[in-house]
Amino acid sequence: MKQTLITLCAILFLSGALRASQSATSDTTPDSGSVALLTCYPGHEVYELEGHTALRIIMPDGTDMTVNWGLFDFNSPNFLYRFVKGETDYRMGAAPTAQFLNQYAREGRRVDQTPLHLSPQERDRLVWLIDSTFRIGSPVYRYNYVLDNCATRPVDYLSDAIGSPIQLTDTTALASRAGNTFRADMTAFHSHYPWYQFGIDLALGSLIDRPLSPGQHGFAPVSLALMLDGSLRPDPSDPSRLIPLAGRRTELLPDGGGGPAGPTPWYLTPLAVCTLFALLTIALSARDMRRHAISRWFDTIYFSIMGIAGLLLTFLIFISVHYATSPNWLFLWLNPFCFIGAILIWIKKCRKVVILYQIINFAAIVALCAAVICGAQVLNLAFIPLLVADAARAVVYLRSAKWHSATI
């Protein structure tokens, strides 16, 4: 209901703004005060860690509206299932700028404004494009985390209004990061949320490890704001000449303490927890080999967890329409066959099947490591001790083939 009211409000305000602008006196001088990009800095929630982008449009009659492409409804039917499947429908909405800013003021999040050099005609076309989307198009779109989101949509609308693609400029701040991929950018923004990044690195495969063009870094709103500095566009009065697209960025709202949480203690990070687990698994495996016995209770829990992760990857790879869930080289290691190591170890007649599975499992671990070394996919560092732990359990089963007294 709230989103419906916002949409209706947007239609009324934008229609009025368009009529007012059409009756205004034309001016060929680029107008840097009528359209601005608003950059909302990261917040506490995981879906706020890259920030948010919106377009502020001020018309000659004083109408001051902000349009954004980041509305979604947690309470919509089957939201969680559709989100996991990749059917993430977001909505474009509009509201008075004062109302938009009040929300971020309450959350204590910083908001910057970057004025954009658009002529009145380009501003009118931008308003017309937005108004047409509300009236005859659809404000709902299929959200894509890195390719089609609240930051890429405004750039697309601006490019259409100007009549040529916006050339975003890579910056020193972005170039100084550890990598040049979607995964590297995500890791930089999620540095205080390592378990969230752990989940992303589990779910998303090799497509997010491809090198990015300079403009693709702009999928993150905070990066987009930096990349507007120095960006160029054709001069409306002389298309053969390039002029700056953006003016000087200013702070509309100060940081009120609503940013991301503090760093996760090192001993609670995925790498620390998984390393401790690997050490315990190696110690248990060494004891099993000394005793010529198998800790079946441990393997049932361990391989069941791996099997559940394998079911999740199976869903993401073969059913989900999310970008970059396939191919995922982790599927060599985490797949539903892991349940063989959890269930069949309790059935004596299946002893050879279990050993065969562990042979294949060990080979799969080696193949995954080879693929990572060759650059097929970047692994979260926390996966390395887990792979070592799994290999240790596989070695126990391979050695057990020679134990005449082994109990499986």
* Mean pLDDT, residues 207-220: 89
Decide if 56 contacts 38 (C-beta within 8 A): yes
Out of 2-6, 61-65, 181-185, 306-310, the most confident range is 306-310
CA distance 150 to 190: 18
Per-residue burial over 93-102, b if 16 or more Cβ lie within 10 Å, else e, is bbbebeebbe
SS3 assignment, position 92: strand
Query: Phi, psi at residue 238, to the nearest 5°?
Result: -150, 85
Alpha helix ranges (H) inside 269-345: 270-291, 296-318, 338-343
Residue 407 pLDDT? 47
pLDDT of residue 251: 95
pTM: 0.86
Residue 408: pLDDT band by 50, 70, 90 thresholds? very low
From CA 119, how far away is CA 117, in angstroms rounded? Answer: 7
Is the bond preceding residue 327 a cis peptide, omega within 30 degrees?
Answer: yes
- How many angstroms separate the first and last alpha carbons of the chain? 59
- Tell me which DSSP letter residue 218 carries: G
Mean pLDDT of the chain: 87
The answer to whether the CB of 338 falls within 8 A of the CB of 332 is: no
For residue 178, is pLDDT > 80?
no
Query: How sure is the predictor about 88, in pLDDT bands with cuts at 50, 70 and 90?
Result: confident
pLDDT at 25: 32
Q: What is the pLDDT of residues 66-76, one digit of tens each?
A: 999 999 876 77
Mean pLDDT across 118-144: 92
The Cβ of residue 234 has, within 10 Å, a number of other Cβ atoms equal to 16
Whole-angstrom Cα distance, residue 41 to residue 309? 33
pLDDT recorded at residue 31: 42
- Residue 171 pLDDT level (bands cut at 50, 70, 90): low
Q: What is the pLDDT of residue 402?
A: 77
**pLDDT (tens digit, 9 = 90+) per residue, 238-265?**
888 888 999 999 999 999 999 999 999 9
For residues 52-68, b (16+ Cβ closer than 10 Å) or e, as one string?
bbbbbbbbbeebebbbb
Q: How confident is the model at residue 214 (pLDDT cuts 50, 70, 90)?
A: confident
Vertex 248 angle, CA 243 and 251, to 5°: 155
